[in-house]
Amino acid sequence: MRAPLAGGTGTAHKTDSGYGWRVWTAVAAGGLLGTELRYMLGLLFPDQPGEIPWATLGINIVGSFVLAALTTIWIARPQTAFWLRAAIGPGVLGSFTTFSAVVFSTDQLTRSGLPGVGLLYLGLSVLLGLAAAAAGWRTGRVLGASRGFGGTGPFGGTDGTGP
C-alpha cells in the first residue's frame, strides 16, 4: 500500500511497514553528518570547566534558527522532497542540536558547585533558542516570499507578511 504522506505532494510514501527505506536512509545519513559536525565543533571550541559551554549553546542556537527557517520555507513549498526534508530536519539538525547536552551540562555545572552558572546556561539556552527559532521563522517567511513561494499559500501574499 502506498499513500501520500500528509502535508506533502506525494514525494514520499508510507508503506505498511512505515516510511520507505529512502527516508530512513536519508535520516540516518543526515544524522551521521549532524553528529560529526557537532563533534568537530566541540573539538575546535572545547568547553572550559566551570564555564558556560559556549560551543553547545552556539550549536543549539544556530540549529534552532536554521530548522525554523527551513521548516517555514518547506511549509510554503511542500513540493520539496520528503526524504530531503527528513534528512535535513530530523537527520542533520536533529543530531546537530540536542537538548540532552543542555541538561547534561546544566547537571555538571550544578554538581561542580556552580548552580548559578548552570541555571544561567539553562535559561540562556531556552531563551536564545526560542529567539533564534522566531528569527528563523521570520527569515524563512521573507526568503519563502522572495523566492515566489508565497501566493495563496500559508503566507498569504508574496511580500512575506502573511494574511
Amino acid at 124: L
Give me the mean pLDDT over the 86-109 stretch.
94
pLDDT of residue 77: 85
Number of domains making up the chain? 1
Reported as a pLDDT band with limits 50, 70 and 90, residue 146 is confident
Instruction: Identify whether 8 is part of a domain.
Output: no
How long a stretch of residues is the chain?
163
Q: Which residues sit in the known binding site for Na(+)?
A: 94, 97
pLDDT of residue 149: 56
Q: Which residues pair with 13 in a beta bridge?
A: 4
Instruction: Identify whether 80 is part of a domain.
Output: yes
Instruction: Identify whether 154 is part of a domain.
Output: no
Taking residue 141's Cβ as centre, other Cβ atoms within 10 Å add up to 24
What is the C-alpha separation between 120 and 142, in angstroms, rounded?
A: 32
For the chain, what is the total number of helices (H) and then of strands (E)?
6, 3
Instruction: Identify whether 25 is part of a domain.
Output: no
Between 58 and 161, the more confident residue is 58
What is the C-alpha separation between 128 and 58, in angstroms, rounded?
A: 9
**pLDDT tens digits for 9-54?**
444 455 544 578 899 999 999 999 999 999 999 999 999 888 999 9
User: Helices 21-44 and 54-76 sit at what angle, rounded to 10 degrees?
Assistant: 150
Q: Is the pLDDT of residue 151 over 50?
A: no
Domain with 52, as residue range(s), is 31-146
Between 17 and 88, the more confident residue is 88
**pLDDT tens digits for 110-127?**
999 999 999 999 999 999
Q: Which residues sit in the known binding site?
A: 94, 97
How far, CA to CA in Å, does 45 sit from each of 30, 48, 121?
22, 9, 17
Q: Cell 524563512 belongs to which residue?
A: 140
Q: Chain-wide mean pLDDT for the chain?
A: 84
Instruction: Identify whether 119 is part of a domain.
Output: yes
Contacts of 5 (CB under 8 A, 6+ apart): 12, 13, 14, 82
Q: Which residues pair with 14 in a beta bridge?
A: 3, 19
Instruction: Identify whether 116 is part of a domain.
Output: yes
pLDDT of residue 44: 97
Reported as a pLDDT band with limits 50, 70 and 90, residue 145 is confident
What is the C-alpha separation between 126 and 124, in angstroms, rounded?
A: 6
Instruction: Identify whether 65 is part of a domain.
Output: yes
Q: Is the pLDDT of residue 152 over 60?
A: no
Calculate what percentage of the chain has a pLDDT beyond 70. 79
C-beta separation of 107 from 118 below 8 A:
yes
pLDDT of residue 18: 59
